[in-house]
Amino acid sequence: MQKSQIHSTIDWDKPGKQHGHLYIPYSYNLAGWANLMVPVTMLKNGAGPTALVLAGNHGDEYPGQVAILRLARELTPDNIRGRVILIPCLTIPASKAMTRLSPLDGKNFNRVFPGNASGTVSEMLAHFLTTVLFPLADIVIDIHTGGRSMDFVPCATMHLVDDLAQRRKMIEGTEAWNSDIAFMYADVAGTGLLPVEAERQGKIVITTEMGGGEIVTPAVHRLTQNGLRNVLVHFGVLRGDKAPRPKPVRWVQALDREDYRFAPESGIYENLIECGSGVATGQTVGLIHFLERPDREPVAVTANAAGIVIATRGPSLVTQGDCVACIAHDVPAEVLG
Ligand code: CA
């Protein structure tokens, strides 16, 4: 692949703690030689695995950004065995604008992998991850939430990767987040995802959906911060004792396209089911109302099969084709090994 144009002020081999930046070149009307500066903190201490810890893949997903900022401030090299690379926010302009997509190039950062060395800002950063940071890493952690568009039962998540040894390590790491529910998901909305490229490179990839919506509850912040620390302890990168599980984990999956329920028409969405609640096959999970047509009955969105509602629509206004609910089902024991 082409060489990255991104300049890093971090020395990836140097022991100790460094705060630095990735400089991504770009231009705007008032600055021809501008750089988007992406903060990176690295801690290295002796031999051990490398964990790459990421948040702000989507700008409007804040709990992971807070959790990583906290680690960046608090960790010292003697807390570490190996190396931790912390990037609190991959898409800073989107985080500042409270948007999912980058306002600089309109890209969804989680759809631009493996990236492009001479592409837009998002594509250049994805290419840098693909060619420089993923090859350094053993474990890749990408902390998501539902952003403003979806609300999730706070859960650690993963893809069902084909390689069984990789899958086993990912299951154990996902469980170490200590969320009550762990979720196996499918990609129903495009390709070019960050975890898919990291998985393709054989990395142990841990992702999350830490709630969603505009409000982040204290419980979600706590779960994000404690879960991240516990996963790092689990993999031996962070020294300390693993926290015990508060509850046995419940593994659920939504691997069928039909598990993802889309608005058949535009209108006002009335969510009828609490996130995390059980539903029966055919049960109405929400209604779409038509402000301009009081004579029309609302249109029902129904559950394709029995399960739990793992995610629901955030904003009440929906456009035809928006995902309004995701129904998850218990994972068969044989998949978990
Ligand atoms: Ca997300």
The chain-wide mean pLDDT, for the chain, equals 96
CA of 145 to the centre of ligand 1 (A): 5
CA of 154 to the centre of ligand 1 (A): 12
Q: What is the CATH code for 256-330?
A: 2.40.50.100
- How many angstroms does the Cα of residue 98 sit away from the middle of ligand 1? 13
The torsion angles phi and psi of 288, rounded to 5 degrees, stand at -105, 125
Question: Measured in angstroms, how far is the CA atom of residue 73 from the centroid of ligand 1?
Answer: 24
Does residue 285 have a pLDDT over 90? yes
- Cα 146 to ligand 1 centre (Å): 5
- At 149 the pLDDT is 95
Q: How far is the CA of 58 from the centre of ligand 1 (A)?
A: 5
CA of 108 to the centre of ligand 1 (A): 10
Q: What is the DSSP string of 54-74?
A: EE-SSTT--HHHHHHHHHHHH
The per-residue pLDDT for range 262-278, each reduced to its tens digit, is 999 999 999 999 999 99
Q: Read off the pLDDT of residues 2-46 as tens digits, 9 standing for 90 and up.
A: 899 999 999 999 999 999 999 999 999 999 999 999 999 999 999
Query: In sequence order, what DSSP letters do the residues of 239-260 get, joined into one string?
Result: -SPPPPPSS--EEEEE-SGGGE
Give residue 56 CA to ligand 1 midpoint distance, Å: 8
The structural domains of the chain, with segments of one domain joined by +, span 7-253, 256-330
pLDDT band at 190, cuts 50/70/90?
A: confident
Measured in Å, residue 191 CA sits from the centre of ligand 1 at 14
Answer whether residue 185 shows pLDDT above 90: no
Distance 148 CA to ligand 1 centre (A): 9
32 Cα: distance to centroid of ligand 1 (angstroms): 32
How many angstroms does the Cα of residue 116 sit away from the middle of ligand 1?
A: 21
- Which class is 7-253 in CATH? alpha beta
102-129 per-position pLDDT tens digit: 999 999 999 999 999 999 999 999 999 9
The string of pLDDT tens digits covering residues 44-81 is: 999 999 999 999 999 999 999 999 999 999 999 999 99
For 79-106, what is the mean pLDDT? Answer: 97
User: What's the CA-to-centroid distance between 15 and ligand 1, angstroms?
Assistant: 33
For 196, list phi and psi in degrees, rounded to 5: -65, -40
Q: How far is the CA of 147 from the centre of ligand 1 (A)?
A: 6
Position 334 scores a pLDDT of 87
User: Distance from the CA of 139 to the center of ligand 1, in angstroms?
Assistant: 19
> How far apart are the CA of 144 and the centre of ligand 1, in A?
5
Ligand 1 centroid to Cα of residue 109, in Å, is 10
CA of 77 to the centre of ligand 1 (A): 30
Ligand 1 centroid to 296 CA: how many Å? 34
Residue 325 alpha carbon to ligand 1 centre in Å: 15
What is the CA(166)–ligand 1 centre distance, in A?
Answer: 23
Report which of 227, 280, 246, 255 is spatially closest to residue 331, judged by C-alpha positions: 255
Query: CA-CA-CA-CA torsion for 140, 71, 133, 144, nearest 10 degrees?
Result: 50
Q: How far is the CA of 270 from the centre of ligand 1 (A)?
A: 22
Give CA–CA dist 189/169, Å, rounded: 26
Whether the predicted model's global pTM rises above the 0.75 cut: yes
Task: Name the token pair of 12.
Answer: 């990836």
Parallel/antiparallel/unpaired status of strands 250-254 and 323-330: antiparallel
Q: How far apart are the CA of 288 and the centre of ligand 1, in A?
A: 24
**Per-residue pLDDT at 275:** 95
CA of 96 to the centre of ligand 1 (A): 16
Query: What per-residue confidence (pLDDT) applies to 188?
Result: 74
